[in-house]
Amino acid sequence: MAKNILKFALVFIGGLLAASFLTSKTFEAEITIAAPPEKVWSVLMDTKSYPEWNPTFVAVSPPYALGAKISSRVKKPDGAFIDMRPTVKTLRANRELGQAGGVPGILTYHHKWLLKPVAGGTYVRQIDVDRGGFLWFWDSSWVEPAYRRANEALAARVSALEE
């Protein structure tokens, strides 16, 4: 009897662990900015100025560099902060900035800024894929609105620098 309970417990725990690695949620926000990708990219790369204009990613240091471990402070709409330590995974000038971090099985995140030239400007898309068991308990309803605010602030910053 005890062997069966132990076997059941191990299978159950193994199933929960596997499910935590398979659980994912994707967040997206997009905008078209009336400026070429090079202008948008230059604002994204100027991490020192983030506190002046970015309502979501309020501090990023050091500057983005491929393979760099950065400190990123995210401000939630309720005023609370989340401090993260992602690694820059992709850095393709004027096209893509990708970063990832977290603890596998608990919560990992893969966040990208994607830029694409379009008629009249640049299509900007943030996409964030999170995975892990923490997603079962986390209220993430604020994430996409925060990314939209960041996109709108990016557009405003690029526009202000164009003037």
Token pair recorded at residue 57: 């990613």
Q: Are 149 and 56 in contact (CB under 8 A)?
A: yes
- In a domain, residue 2? The reply is no
Domain with 33 in it: what CATH number? 3.30.530.20
pTM equals 0.87
- In a domain, residue 110? The reply is yes
Q: From residue 117, how far is each of 14, 40, 123 by CA, in Å? A: 46, 10, 6
Domain ranges, residue 110:
24-162
- In a domain, residue 18? The reply is no
- In a domain, residue 39? The reply is yes
- Report how far residue 27's alpha carbon sits from residue 140's, in angstroms, rounded to the nearest whole number: 9
Digit-by-digit pLDDT tens for the chain (163 residues) are 677 776 666 655 555 555 566 789 999 999 999 999 999 999 999 999 999 999 999 999 999 999 999 999 999 999 999 999 999 999 999 999 999 999 988 899 999 999 999 999 999 999 999 999 889 899 999 999 999 999 999 999 999 997 7
Q: Is 142 left (phi over 0), alpha (psi -120 to 50) or beta?
A: alpha
Total domain count for the chain? 1
